[in-house]
Homo-oligomer: A and B are copies of this chain.
């Protein structure tokens, strides 16, 4: 086991009251209280010098919904009543900070748990103040920010504001609408030397402007869109199909889920962001375009947070003969996501400690659309990604 006792790290979630964040927090608090075991955490088996221990993580964060985390978690239905009683009671006393918005995005105030800043600069300052206060009040040695908020619409990536650090600064000055709320959080973190990860499909830090800034400031950043269920399977299976020379004629993927995420994806713009991060994985691994690669996500209430994916893969093998593979994954989205979020935070913190700034490509293993350094191509094959991470960690 890998824990280095002593140093404590604060993790600030954008979207602290959501299902993934509350599950991650509950899991760690239950480990602290002895009612959860380490063995559901991907890196628990590896001793890595300098990496913060699970019990040394402390949580904070923002959410538009001001409910205490116990109430929020009960609403999500991921944690059992017993979980909350046996170890996660501490959630009952945790309340998210008000979400910070620039007036630019808050024309229609929704009355939630929100502070409206008069412009982008004031919003950024407000976020930075929250982080500073978090560090001081919790007494942690370092802080990491992880975005778990609802998916934003896809921005115009060609907008000059997003394409250089200098233009981005000017965009902040003018409260340019090209800069989305998620980008404000990312900027505030990076600018203050705080590692930042984006676990959602929102673009956030994945624009040249912020990648450059992270490099200049030598701050670790990573993203985007956590790779949990169907896409994870896809990146596991596709390399093997390629290795066996089984040509993928078509890959039909459908998903049903009934949680807040599913509902959000009923919004066409958010769905597009999600499909953007899911779409290129396959072609990149296989080395040729799969023309009939269809991905559908449907909001289907009976499942709640239990997500189900059904994939049908049509392959052609030797002598042109055709075969089919069908994968049916009955999974739990937040249960798959929460441990990844924790490991991402720990690795980003270690990168900071090692002085290794900019995009952390070794975290590709955990993302559907891995952020890469400028000029690099993302690696999607699961096994290769895993080797990249273990090599970076120094694990053999």
Contacts and interface: CB of A to CB of B under 8 A. Distances in A.
Interface of A: 23, 26-27, 30, 36, 39-42, 44, 78-79, 83, 232-233, 236-237, 239-240, 243-247, 249-250, 252, 254, 256, 291-292, 294, 296, 298, 300-303, 308, 310, 312, 314, 316-332, 335-336, 338-339, 365, 382-384, 386-387
A335 B314 contact: no
B317 A42 contact: no
3 nearest A-B residue pairs (beta carbon): A383-B383, A250-B302, A40-B318
A232 to B, nearest CB: 7
A324 B306 CA distance: 11
B252 A300 contact: yes
A40 B327 contact: no
Contact of A302 (B41, B292, B336): B292
B329 A42 contact: no
A246 to B, nearest CB: 8
B252 A232 contact: no
B249 A302 contact: yes
A296 B336 contact: no
Copies of this chain present in the complex amount to 4
Nearest to A228: B244
A167 to B, nearest CB: 39
Contacts of A42: 243-245
A296 B298 contact: yes
A301 B236 contact: no
Contact of A321 (B233, B319, B335): B335
7 contacts: A40-B318, A40-B319, A41-B318, A83-B319, A296-B296, A310-B312, A317-B336
A36 B336 CA distance: 34
Contacts of A384: 383
Contacts of A301: 250, 291-292
Contact of A292 (B41, B300, B317): B300
A386 B310 CA distance: 27
Contact of A303 (B23, B300, B314): B314
Given A236-B240, A308-B312, A312-B310, A325 B321 contact: no
